[in-house]
Amino acid sequence: MTMPHERTRAVLQTRDFLLEISRDQTLSEKIRHDAKFLLRHYPSEFDLKMAGRIEESVREFPIGTLGPIFSSHVDNS
């Protein structure tokens, strides 16, 4: 089972990967354009951590049946 901090870290790492692709001049223009397109509305680190804080603050009223989706931190603390 993926924990919220693991999911948050994976989304942040995916954003970094897309940024890397979007700037890599050795890749085709289409690949770089597609990466930039995907990043247009991709959540920032701030967005993810804010979502985690909101979800963590409503533990008494779990969101859905699974509880928090994201975490306000990426380590296991």
| Spacing of C-alpha 27 from chain mean position | 24
Domain locations in the chain as residue ranges: 4-57
- Cα dist. 58→5, 36, 42, 53, 63 in Å? 16, 34, 24, 9, 8
Q: In the numeric block, which tokens belong to residue 23?
A: 């700037």
Comparing CA positions, the residue from 37, 44, 40 lying closest to residue 16 is: 44
Task: Determine the Cα–Cα distance for residues 59 and 62; give it in Å rounded to an integer.
Answer: 5
Contact 18, 35 (CB under 8 A): yes
Query: Can you give the pTM of this predicted structure?
Result: 0.77
In tens, the pLDDT along 6-61 reads 989 999 999 999 999 999 999 999 999 999 999 999 999 899 988 888 888 776 65
